[in-house]
Amino acid sequence: MAPEDAARARAILAELHERPGEQIQAEFRLRHRDGSWRTVAGVATNLLHEPAVRGIVLNYRDVTQERDMARRLRDAEQRRRALLESMIRAEDEERSRIAASLHDDTIQAMTASLLELDRSDRHVRQGDAAAAREAIASARQTLADATERTRRLTFELRPQLLEAAGLAAAIRDLAAGLARDTGAEVSVRTRSRRYPGEVETLVYRTVREALINVRKHARAKHVVIRIGERRGALHGRVADDGRGFRTGRPPARRALHIGLETARERLRAAGGSLDVTSAPGRGTTVEFHIPLAE
């Protein structure tokens, strides 16, 4: 018996010795002859007053596997709860980002357009047709720009190209958008085959979030995107030669776009993983994998 358990057992037996006919339940660890420790659960019964016994009777059984299973279930439940809380928090922050984008972009554009239309109305009442046409043209251009940005936001949320043409086409479209917006040289290499819808969506969102960080923070000149299969899993890599940052510190973690954290939790829920490596002046690399069903 383990020394600390033996001390507790002696205390139980001493207590029970003074209480004829009573029982005390307890668990202890016993060393098996193979050297391993086993957990046993049992009951000690004071039968010192029984002439046929005149002793304390111990009945116990090996519950090692039961306790190990219960511990694993508790750990799994804790991980599940932590994962669920992280995903809910990340999704809330992602919704807040979308709401902020709509407020700062689309709603502001609509407000500006209303002001331009009000200005054109005043010009019409004043008989200044040229100024009215100019105000209407300005309002139209503002609405057209807002419509395009809203279309792109909608595409990010549910890209039709991904559903229609697959992951490779959608990734190349993301790369083209990044090159157009930042002037960076973007290289893409990916398989053209189709995957289950949930896998394509998960990979697409992960790559998109990595590129959002490149667009907002990296100031990169070159970006490399690689998607391929290896050992029964789909692996992805997004690397840039931008500013980079110090990993492992709270400010660096806060610098990451919250969408990457959402993608990390989604990948974990699907049995995959995501890792970010970076250093100041040495760029950033996002690598992830997701298992593929046979």
Task: From 93, 124, 157, give the residue that closes a domain.
Answer: 157
Letter for the amino acid at 172?
A: R
CA distance linking residue 200 with residue 195, whole number of Å: 6
- The alpha-helical segments, DSSP class H, found in the chain are 3-17, 64-101, 108-125, 129-157, 160-165, 167-182, 197-213, 250-255, 258-269
Q: Check if the beta carbon of residue 287 is closer than 8 Å to that of residue 275.
A: yes
For 26-42, b/e burial (b = at least 16 CB within 10 A) is eebeeeeeeeeeebbbe
Same domain, 123 and 246: no
Does residue 70 lie within any of the structural domains?
no
pLDDT at 253: 44
Q: Are 184 and 280 contained in the same domain?
A: yes
Specify the number of domains making up the chain.
Answer: 3
**From first to last of its 294 residues, what are the pLDDT tens digits of the chain?**
988 899 999 999 999 998 999 999 999 999 999 999 999 999 999 999 999 999 999 999 999 999 999 999 998 888 777 776 776 676 677 677 777 767 667 777 778 888 888 888 888 888 888 888 888 888 888 888 777 777 767 666 667 788 888 899 999 999 999 999 899 999 999 987 888 888 898 899 899 999 998 998 889 999 999 999 988 899 999 999 999 888 765 434 444 556 677 788 888 888 899 999 998 999 999 999 999 876
Asked whether residue 73 is domain-assigned, the answer is: no
DSSP string, 192-224: -S---HHHHHHHHHHHHHHHHHIIIII--SEEE
In a domain, 220, yes or no: yes
pLDDT on residue 69: 93
Angle CA 124–128–131, to nearest 5 = 95
Q: How far apart are CA 153 and CA 147, in angstroms?
A: 10
The pLDDT score that the predictor gives to residue 259 is: 66
Same domain, 152 and 163: no
* CA 180 to chain CA mean position, Å: 29
Nearest C-alpha neighbor of 225 from the set 182, 281, 167? 167
Judge whether 275 lies within some domain: yes
Domain match, 147 and 169 both? no
Do 35 and 126 belong together in one domain?
Answer: no
Q: Is 88 in the same domain as 52?
A: no
Final residue before a domain boundary, out of 37, 62, 87 = 62
200 and 122 inside one domain:
no
Q: Domain of 93?
A: 78-157
Lateral strand order in the sheet of 284-291:
185-190, 222-230, 233-240, 284-291, 273-278
Whether residue 40 lies inside any domain: the answer is yes
Task: Classify the phi-psi angles of 288: left when phi > 0, otherwise alpha if psi is within -120 to 50, otherwise beta.
Answer: beta
Q: What is the pLDDT of residue 249?
A: 52
Taking Cα atoms as reference points, which of 222, 195, 182, 205 lies closest to residue 264? 205
Claim to verify: residue 134 and residue 54 sit in the same structural domain: no
- The verdict on 20 and 89 lying in the same domain is no
Give this prediction's pTM.
0.54
CA distance from start to end of the chain: 48
Residues 281, 226 within the same domain? yes
Is residue 71 in some structural domain? no
168 and 133, same structural domain?
A: no
User: Do 193 and 264 belong to one domain?
Assistant: yes
CATH number of the domain within which 193 lies: 3.30.565.10
Which of 157, 189, 206 marks a domain boundary? 157
In a domain? residue 68: no
205 domain residue, yes or no: yes
